[in-house]
Amino acid sequence: MHVQRRSGHVKRILATLVFLSVLGMADPPANAEEVISVSVWPTIGLSHGDVQVKVVLERNAENRSLIWEVDSPLYYRGSTVQLDGEASPKVWVFVAHDLPEGEFDVRAIVKRSNNKESMALTRMVVLAGRNSR
CB 39 within 8 A of CB 120: no
Average pLDDT over residues 82-102: 96
Residues in a beta bridge with 76: 71
Residue 122 · residue 40 · CB < 8 Å: yes
Residue 103's alpha-carbon distances to 31, 54, 70, in angstroms, are 26, 18, 10
- Average pLDDT on 94-119 reads 96
The mean pLDDT of 94-104, rounded to a whole number, is 95
CA distance 69 to 81: 12
Domain boundary assignment for the chain: 31-127
Q: According to DSSP H, which parts of 42-107 are helical?
A: none
What was the pLDDT predicted at 75?
94
pTM of the full structure: 0.73
Average pLDDT estimate for 86-91: 96
Q: Is 15 helix (H, G, I), strand (E, B) or coil?
A: helix
Domain 31-127 has CATH 1.10.10.10: no
